[in-house]
C-alpha cells in the first residue's frame, strides 16, 4: 500500500503561514521515501463556532512542490469542481502534470462547505448535478479527446487541449453518497473516502456502498483503486488536536496500515499531527515496519 501525507496550508486566526515549513515537509516526505503529498482545496473553513481558518491556494502550492521534488506523487485532496471552469481545469491539469514530470493525480469532488461558496458567489444548489456535467468535460479533455457538450450548467464546443497531455493522468473522485458513488464507478480511476482511524462500521458501510455502485454500473471492482484518508497523532509530541482519530505507537501505526491494506486500500493519505518533520519521519518508520 502506498502512503502519503497532507501538506498543511491552513492559516489559523492570529497565526502566520510559512511556505518554508511546507517546503521542508514535502522534501522530508520525499527523503523518507513516502509515496505522495496532497493539498486540500478551500478558500477557508468556517467552524460552527469561532473564527474562520484560511487556506492558501492548492494549485500554487502543488506547483511549488512539483518544482522542488523529483519523485514523489502530487495531488489535491480534493479539488472543488465548482471553483474552476472545466476547460480551464483541464488545461491546468495538463500543465502541472508536465511540470511535475508525470506525477500528478487529479483528485476532484463536488464541494461541500457552503460558507465559502456563499462568500465568493458560487451557487450552492445542485452540487452533484453540476459536478457530473463538469467531469464529462474535464475527463475527455485530459484524455486527449475533443469535447462537444451542452448541459444545464456547462458547455463546450469543439474543445481540445493542444498539445494533448503526454500520458493518461489518473482521476480520483471523492464521494460517499449514492449519486457520487455512481459517478465514481462510472468515471474514476481511484476513489477516496475520509477521515478515519481504525476500520469502523462507517468505513465498512462505505465500502459496501461502493460495491453496490460498481455492480450497478457493471464495472469490475478490480479496475478501481481505493484510497483512504487517515488522521494520525504522535502522542510523544506536544499538541491538543481534538480531531485526531488514531494515536498510538509506531508499531501500532504500522498495524493500522496493515489493517487498511487488508481491506483493499491501495493508498493511505495521512494528516499527521502535529505537522512536523518528526511526525513525517515517524510515519515513514511505521510504513517501513508495515512492509516488513
Cα–Cα distance measured from residue 43 to residue 105, given in angstroms and rounded to the nearest whole number: 21
- pLDDT, one tens digit for every residue, the chain (292 residues): 999 999 999 998 888 899 999 999 999 999 999 999 999 999 999 999 889 999 999 999 999 999 999 999 999 999 999 999 999 999 999 999 999 999 999 999 999 999 999 999 999 999 999 999 999 999 999 999 999 999 999 999 999 999 999 999 999 999 999 999 999 999 999 999 999 999 999 999 999 999 999 999 999 999 999 999 999 999 999 876 667 799 999 999 999 999 999 999 999 999 999 999 999 999 999 999 999 9
Q: What is the CATH number of the domain that holds 204?
A: 3.20.20.30
| pLDDT of res. 86 | 98
pLDDT of residue 16: 87
- Residue 283 dihedral angles phi and psi, to the nearest 5°: -60, -45
Which DSSP string corresponds to 230-292?
Answer: EEEE-TTS----TT-SEE--HHHHHHHHHHHHHTT-SEEEEEEES-SHHHHHHHHHHHHHHT-
Q: What is the structure's pLDDT at 162?
A: 96
Number of domains the chain contains: 1
Q: What pLDDT was estimated at residue 240?
A: 64
Q: What pLDDT was estimated at residue 130?
A: 98
Tell me the C-alpha distance between 228 and 198, whole Å: 11
pLDDT for 242 = 65
Distance from C-alpha of 85 to C-alpha of 137, rounded to nearest angstrom: 10
- Domain hosting 189: range is 2-290
Residue found by looking up cell 518544482 in the block: 67
- Report pLDDT for 270: 98
Amino acid at each position: 500500500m502506498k502512503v502519503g501525507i497532507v501538506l498543511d496550508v491552513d492559516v489559523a486566526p492570529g497565526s502566520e503561514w510559512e511556505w518554508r515549513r511546507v517546503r521542508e515537509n514535502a522534501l522530508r516526505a520525499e527523503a523518507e521515501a513516502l509515496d505522495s503529498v496532497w493539498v486540500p482545496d478551500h478558500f477557508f473553513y468556517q467552524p460552527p463556532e469561532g473564527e474562520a481558518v484560511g487556506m492558501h491556494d492548492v494549485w500554487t502550492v502543488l506547483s511549488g512542490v512539483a518544482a522542488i521534488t523529483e519523485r514523489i506523487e502530487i495531488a489535491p485532496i480534493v479539488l472543488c469542481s465548482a471553483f474552476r471552469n472545466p476547460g480551464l481545469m483541464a488545461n491546468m491539469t495538463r500543465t502541472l502534470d508536465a511540470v511535475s514530470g508525470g506525477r500528478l493525480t487529479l483528485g476532484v469532488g463536488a464541494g461541500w462547505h457552503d460558507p465559502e461558496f456563499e462568500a465568493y458567489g458560487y451557487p450552492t444548489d445542485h452540487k452533484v448535478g453540476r459536478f457530473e456535467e463538469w467531469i464529462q468535460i474535464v475527463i475527455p479533455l485530459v484524455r486527449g479527446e475533443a469535447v462537444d457538450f451542452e448541459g444545464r450548467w456547462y458547455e463546450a464546443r469543439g474543445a481540445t487541449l493542444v498539445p494533448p497531455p503526454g500520458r493518461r493522468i489518473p482521476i480520483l473522485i471523492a464521494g460517499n453518497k449514492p449519486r457520487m458513488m455512481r459517478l465514481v464507478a462510472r468515471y474514476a480511476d481511484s476513489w477516496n473516502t475520509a477521515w478515519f482511524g481504525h476500520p469502523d462500521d462507517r468505513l465498512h458501510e462505505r465500502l459496501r456502498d461502493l460495491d453496490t455502485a460498481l455492480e450497478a454500473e457493471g464495472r469490475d471492482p478490480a479496475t478501481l483503486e481505493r484510497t483512504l484518508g487517515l488522521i494520525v497523532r504522535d502522542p510523544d509530541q506536544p499538541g491538543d488536536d481534538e480531531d485526531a482519530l488514531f494515536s498510538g505507537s509506531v508499531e501500532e501505526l504500522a498495524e493500522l496500515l496493515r489493517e487498511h491494506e487488508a481491506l483493499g486500500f491501495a493508498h493511505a493519505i495521512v494528516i499527521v499531527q502535529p505537522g512536523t518533520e518528526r511526525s513525517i519521519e515517524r510515519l515513514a518508520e511505521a510504513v517501513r515496519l508495515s512492509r516488513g
